[in-house]
A and B are shown apart, each in its own frame.
Chain A
Amino acid sequence: MSDTSKVDKTDGVVEGQTTVAPADDPTAAAVSVVDPRLLVREEGLKGYWTEFKRKVKGGEIGSLPVVLGLIVIWTIFQLKNDRFLSAENLSNISFYLSATGMIAIGLVFVLLLGEIDLSVGSVSGLASALFAVFVVNHSMNPWLGLILTVLIGVGIGMFHGWFFAKIGVPAFVVTLAGFLGWLGLMLWLLGSTGTINIPDTGPVHLLSQRSFFMDQAIIGAYLLAALGVASLLVGSLIEQRRRKAAGVPFRTNGEIALRVGLLAVAAFVAAYVLNSSNGVSNALVIFLVCLVIVDFVLRRTPFGRKVFAVGGGIEAARRAGINVSLVRISVFAIAGGFAAVGGMFFAGQTQSASLTSGGGNTLMLAIAAAVIGGTSLFGGRGSVWSALLGMLVIQSIQTGLDLLNMNTSIQYMITGAVLLGAVVIDSVSRKSQKAAGRA
Chain B
Amino acid sequence: MVHVSATPVLALRGVSKRFGAVQALTDVELEVHAGEVVALVGDNGAGKSTLVKTVAGVHPIDEGVIEWDGKPVSINKPHDAQGLGVATVYQDLALCDNLDVVGNLYLGRELLRRGVIDEVTMEKNARELLSTLSIRIPSVRIPIASLSGGQRQVVAIARALIGDPKVVILDEPTAALGVEQTAQVLDLVERLRERNLAVILISHNMADVKAVADTVAVLRLGKNNGSFSVKDTSHEEIIAAITGATENAVTRRAGRRSAEAAK
Number of A-B residue pairs having CB atoms within 8 Å of each other in the complex: 114
Q: How far is A409 from B109 in the complex, measured between Cα atoms in Å?
A: 52
For residue B112, CB closer than 8 A to chain A, the reply is: yes
Contact call B108/A248, Cβ cutoff below 8 A: no
Min Cβ gap B31→A in Å is: 27
Q: Which residue of B lies closest to A320 (CB)?
A: B108
Which B residues lie within 8 Å of A320 (CB)?
94, 107-109
Which A residues lie within 8 Å of B130 (CB)?
33
Contact call A301/B136, Cβ cutoff below 8 A: no
Min Cβ gap B73→A in Å is: 20
Q: How many residues of B contact A (CB 8 A)?
A: 40
Contact call A38/B139, Cβ cutoff below 8 A: yes
Contact call A381/B138, Cβ cutoff below 8 A: no
Encode A244-279 as 1/0 by CB contact (under 8 A) with B. Answer: 001111000000000000000000000000000000
Contact call B136/A309, Cβ cutoff below 8 A: no
- With contact pairs A305-B103, A322-B108, A437-B146 given, residues A35 and B124 touching in the complex (Cβ less than 8 Å): no
Q: Which of B112, B121, B136 has the most CB of A within 10 A?
A: B136
Min Cβ gap A39→B in Å is: 7
Contact call B138/A34, Cβ cutoff below 8 A: yes
Q: How far is A243 from B19 in the complex, measured between Cα atoms in Å?
A: 52
- With contact pairs A33-B127, A248-B120 given, residues A1 and B96 touching in the complex (Cβ less than 8 Å): no
Can you add 8 more A-B contacts, CB < 8 Å, to A32-B131, A302-B110? Answer: A30-B134, A33-B139, A302-B112, A305-B99, A305-B110, A305-B117, A316-B96, A437-B145
Q: How far is A380 from B124 in the complex, measured between Cα atoms in Å?
A: 24
Contact call A301/B117, Cβ cutoff below 8 A: yes
- With contact pairs A239-B120, A246-B123, A302-B112 given, residues A21 and B136 touching in the complex (Cβ less than 8 Å): yes
Which B residues lie within 8 Å of A35 (CB)?
136-138
Interface residues of A in 10-29 (CB under 8 A from B): 21, 28-29
For residue B116, CB closer than 8 A to chain A, the reply is: yes
Q: How far is A390 from B97 in the complex, measured between Cα atoms in Å?
A: 25
Contact call A313/B95, Cβ cutoff below 8 A: yes
Which A residues lie within 8 Å of B143 (CB)?
438
Contact call A438/B92, Cβ cutoff below 8 A: no
Contact call B107/A33, Cβ cutoff below 8 A: no
Encode A30-62 as 1/0 by CB contact (under 8 A) with B. Answer: 111111011110000000000000000000000
- With contact pairs A1-B138, A31-B131 given, residues A301 and B97 touching in the complex (Cβ less than 8 Å): no
Which B residues lie within 8 Å of A364 (CB)?
none
Q: Which listed residue, A21, A32, A321, A381, touches B98 by the CB 8 Å rule? A: A381
Contact call B138/A312, Cβ cutoff below 8 A: no
Interface residues of B in 125-163 (CB under 8 A from A): 127, 130-132, 134-141, 143, 145-146
For residue A6, CB closer than 8 A to chain B, the reply is: no
Contact call B97/A312, Cβ cutoff below 8 A: yes
Contact call B123/A248, Cβ cutoff below 8 A: yes
Contact call A308/B131, Cβ cutoff below 8 A: no
For residue A157, CB closer than 8 A to chain B, the reply is: no
Q: Which of A31, A239, A248, A317 has the most CB of B within 10 A?
A: A248
Min Cβ gap A63→B in Å is: 17
Return 20 A-B CB contacts under 8 Å, by A number: A21-B136, A32-B131, A33-B130, A33-B136, A34-B136, A35-B138, A305-B103, A309-B103, A313-B97, A317-B96, A319-B90, A320-B94, A320-B108, A320-B109, A322-B108, A433-B145, A437-B146, A438-B143, A438-B145, A439-B145
Contact call A248/B136, Cβ cutoff below 8 A: no
Q: Which listed residue, B96, B138, B140, touches A313 by the CB 8 Å rule? A: B96
Q: Which residue of B lies closest to A439 (CB)?
A: B145
Q: How far is A437 from B99 in the complex, measured between Cα atoms in Å?
A: 14
For residue A138, CB closer than 8 A to chain B, the reply is: no
Contact call A312/B108, Cβ cutoff below 8 A: no
Min Cβ gap B149→A in Å is: 11
Which A residues lie within 8 Å of B90 (CB)?
319
For residue A142, CB closer than 8 A to chain B, the reply is: no
Q: Which residue of B lies closest to A26 (CB)?
A: B136
Q: Which residue of B lies closest to A311 (CB)?
A: B98
Which A residues lie within 8 Å of B146 (CB)?
1, 436-438
Contact call B134/A300, Cβ cutoff below 8 A: no
Contact call A315/B139, Cβ cutoff below 8 A: no
